[in-house]
Structure 1
Amino acid sequence: MNKVLVVDDEKLVRQGIITTFPWEKHGFQVTCDAGSGEKALELLEREEIDLLVTDLAMNGMSGLELIKRVKESRRDLPVVILTCHDNFRYIQEAMRLGVLDYIVKTEIEDEIVDETLTRIAGKLAEERSPYEPAKSGADSKRQTSDGLLLCGPSRSSRPAELLWKDEWEGWVGRMTEIDAATWLLRVTPAEADRLTAKFAAMPETGGWLCIHVTGIGEANEAEAAAKLKQYRKRVLFYASGGRLQTRGWSDVAAVTNPSDEVAVSAAALRADWLSADWVYDDSDFERLLATTAGSGMEAEELRNMLYPVALEWERLLDNGTLNEFHGLAGSGLFWKEWESGLRSFRQSIRQTVGRNATRQTSEAVFRAIELMREAIDSESGEAEIARAVGMSRGHFSKSFKKVTGKSYGEYLRLIKLERAKEMILRTDEPITRVAELCGFSDYRHFSRVFRDYTGKLPTEYRKAGALD
């Protein structure tokens, strides 16, 4: 795995990039992050880093200055820049400093992110010396026809925890890292039988999963690694068949990405999770869990799909749900952990809301928020929204404040400003038009409110996004 350092002075953006991008799918592991160029330089002095990913427009030391400093001491360290706009003029300036590639932060659709990381991984591979030694002994592999796929319970797991110390050195040459906390140990059938018998006799393997893959010796290393990674992400992520299993190589190699006809749309699932019905409706929550598990999405895809959901609840309740999600996304190697985490996530929401309002009141407020998002550019006011959820305006106003901790006007402004931020960065609409589409009739008032919220005037915000 290539060890990655991510640098961005906006914490939520940084955490989102770390947890929602499919780094491990492309051979990367984010081992540390920094909120400033100065902190990044400190980390580079003491950490082993294979790839630096940095924002350009940061407070204090800019990304360009950081790159210049890094190139003075580590000219060979590959650098990827984070930008908000696919604007070649600004990207070209960084490229002159020897930057490997760039990532557009506002283009987080699965296909685009996947294509970008594939491109970066390819460029990185081209820059590497063709004479780098292999990680495992080729001679020993010629004598082995089977393999043991060892899957650890956490990202910090190492196979030395499972194999015996007196035998460890003998196995190292046959070990290949496949994915996060996942290794392939090439063995003969007799060795496979002996090791699995030892595992079976152990009262507790610490949550490790061992898959005896028969007939894998015919596959070359690159093919085996690619197929096993796919199997780990698509099948073992949902594993429920016990800690010791046996599979034929042909069955493992046959696993592919789910077809468009069978796979559940991530966008449709996200829309279901963004609705609030599952918070109180047990059957709807269990249905959503089953549908999500049945979609066959791997962990990285789940992170991408659910991150906007966690972000929206954090904006609504400000109760730490986003940090809770980051913890889950950063550690969940199996669906059972995600399911447990989502149950805890739901309970946290219910406890936060339940301190101040009844279930009936909370459900009415959640419906109102959905209507507010849909009617952002319409003339609907608080009275109309209150009427739509069956409440008087006075009662609705008090209830809304109890549930969200914000007044109706404050929350509506938050929705409008978040929509405005997105439009300013992702479209070329004039600022006056953005203000109008986001429900602000007075451009001067919009500019003042936007500056109070972001620290920049709308024009400055767009310019900073272009420079970034």
Structure 2
Amino acid sequence: MIRTLFVEDEYFVRQGFIHSLPWAKYGMRIIGEADNGEAALEFLRDHEVDLLVTDLTMPIKSGLELLHEAKTLYPSLPAVVLTCHRDFDCVQEALRLGAVDYIVKTRLDSEEIEQSLNRIRERLAERAADASRASAGLVLVPLAGAEEAWRDRVLHACRGAMSELPAGAWFLPEPPGAEWERVAGEAASAGWAAVQVTGHRQEDSRTVKELLSAYVTRAFPYRWAPRGGMLKVSIRDAKQSAAAKTNSAEDMAEIAKHWRSYGWVFEEAEFKDWLTLVQDREPPLAKLRPLVEEAASGWAMSEGMRTAGLKLREERDFMWETWTGRLTDARGCLLRRFASLHHSREVYASALRSLDVIREALKNGLNQVEVARVVGLSRSYFSQVFKDTFGMSFNEYVRAYSISNARKLLIQTSYPIYWIAEQSGFQDERYFSRVFRESTGLLPSEYRIRYAGIRGGKSESGLESV
């Protein structure tokens, strides 16, 4: 839908237009209203708008003044003006400022107004197509197995006119020969995702790079889908989106709260609501990824969950569509395990929450009595519930998790052994080394040397249900 802002100073006229015209029939949706140009600019600063419909004669800031400022601030934003017959000269000025059409207030019979809306829709479609063909750039994002040789060939063809972005991505302001469709097609076969970029010619290169860097690291993983067609992003939308994402800490707190309630395990509606919440908020991956990956690893580490069909699979990319499928499968495994037990939902959720407590308190040392207290169960009952749910005792699980954590840190970091021991819940380095050797057959230093080659390119763990 074309997100439309309607600006008119007379209240009843404004409400009449908003509620009487068949906007939806022509692909438009009124997302906001304002009674003067200044209020309209405030709305534009905080919302993503595709079409501005404005009266010309208004107090505080007129429609022409609004169009002047909008052209400077949002050069790709199309506008339609509302006018009376006597405003002809103003209409001409508005069209010179980039307005795509006008609606005459005194001609509101059904047939004529529908002709106007249809004409506006067609002109917006033509404008979008022309802009895409004339000035589209590409962001190339590497996926698993991406061919660097192909990227190097494109870089050579562009004569170096590419900007490097985070996560190994690249921005091509103008693909070779301006043939972005051909380059995008080649990208898919070479293991790269292509995102069409518009509006970058109206911004300075530094701002474009900052906005696209934020898009690659934050929005792209939530929007990309293997079979979803090419993604598109306009710099104007990226700018407005970046300005709107100012409450990431609050968003992440809400996401984590719903996740750790574990009500979504039992209620499909809650699970879908949580997935939608994540998709809408697009939290930073540095916050969301540990929440779901560490929980998934913790489940699959237990014998009980493996019995229910849960196991680990190495995965490099964190793409939300892929993880939605994996979490859906994981939820099925959690439900199968629950069905095999004779505990209430509340008790089962407490057992799942205990794994969160173990992960968070690992480096401070773990006491089964304290964990039981945190999840609301007596020590003896918690001990039985834990073993029933996970197929291993509390101490067996903590030891397995500690060694797993240590192995990850040995491969992924260069920190000294004593630090890794502390982070894995061991206060004595010698005792840690002995336990680690009993579990892996190698001392921590030997393990690091043997597997040092994987550091930096190691895949992260994902879930696979079998």
Higher helix share: 2
Which is greater in Rg? 2
Normalising by structure 2, report the TM-score. 0.44
Q: Which has the higher contact order (CA 8 A, sep 6+)?
A: 1
Normalising by structure 1, report the TM-score. 0.44
